[in-house]
Amino acid sequence: MTRILLFVFFILIGCSKENETQNRPVSSGSEAFVSIDETSSPGEQENTYASIDFSNWKLTLPVDENNNGSPDEYLPASLVNGAYRSNNQIKPFMYDQLEDSSMVFYTYPQSSTTNSSYSRTELRELIDPSNSRINWTLTQGGEMRGRLKLEAVSKDADSSMEYHKTIVMQIHGIISISDMETYGFSSNNGPPLIKIYWKDGFIWSHKKSLVNEATIGDALLEVSSSIWTDEKDNLGYVGFEPFDFRITASNAKIEVQLNENEPLIYQDISLEKWPFENYYKAGNYLGTTAEGAFSYVKFYSLEITH
């Protein structure tokens, strides 16, 4: 009898230890499991946050909670050092996904900027964190690299597309301070030089080109579609899987590259005449005003160099 009791006791002890180290489920859209090392200290565990330094990014949200007639914006000071994680206005729209070390950008049609009908949860580059009027020229150049994916998006019932489209990266133009003063412009808005779209799983590049390459002078500073039009290129299929993307700008030259594919190079008279200064943008700029529309974009990394 004593031997039987001892045998049962050792079985129970063994089961208890096994339960302490069993695999834990991970919420990643599949039945995946990872082994958790119970002996690891917090400092030894892998960083679970996306690789994004917010020191030179301003955030625009699709809502107007402060009722000033424009989408809410947050300067880098409200984002750096994890400050966004404790901001109840930001958290519904930009938040960490610890399971896959990503940052989620969620948006839906509501509040939009003056020069657009569409809403966004999007980052805007600020070379000077306190001054959006300081930007860069193509001669100065720069590069933006990111790893990202389209996580989820609403169906499009009003066009030939299956899903609504969204812009995930941009180079946006802006009229310089000197041209504002020279021509007496009341607005410094410029057109987007490069827009990177997700459309039904394909990545498209839209690049601004002159309608008439003979255009010169202050007419170049007009935003009108009669002056600047979109040149559209399909760069390949990514579906709902992660992909790498870079946009490299230099004097009269733009390179865009999806994953390890052959880069698409723009080098033409329109870039030679491009009169605007520029800034990078990245995030989730949903291209619809349809009721009930939404999109979720994940960024795993995002970096700019000049």
Architecture in CATH for domain 49-305: Sandwich (2.60)
Q: What radius of gyration do the chain's Cα atoms show?
A: 24
Q: Compute the distance between CA of residue 68 and CA of residue 50 in angstroms, rounded to an integer.
A: 31
Instruction: Measure the N-to-C terminal CA separation of the chain; round to a whole number of Å.
Output: 79
CB 236 within 8 A of CB 160: no
Q: Compute the distance between CA of residue 173 and CA of residue 179 in angstroms, rounded to an integer.
A: 13
pLDDT tens for the chain, residues 1 to 306: 444 444 334 334 443 333 333 332 223 333 322 222 333 334 444 669 999 999 999 999 999 999 999 999 999 999 999 999 999 999 999 999 999 999 999 999 999 988 899 999 999 999 999 899 999 999 999 999 999 999 999 999 999 999 999 999 999 999 999 999 999 999 999 999 999 999 999 999 999 999 999 999 999 999 999 999 999 999 999 999 999 999 999 999 999 999 999 999 999 999 999 999 999 999 999 999 999 999 999 999 999 999
In degrees and rounded to multiples of 5, residue 182 shows phi and psi of: -65, -45
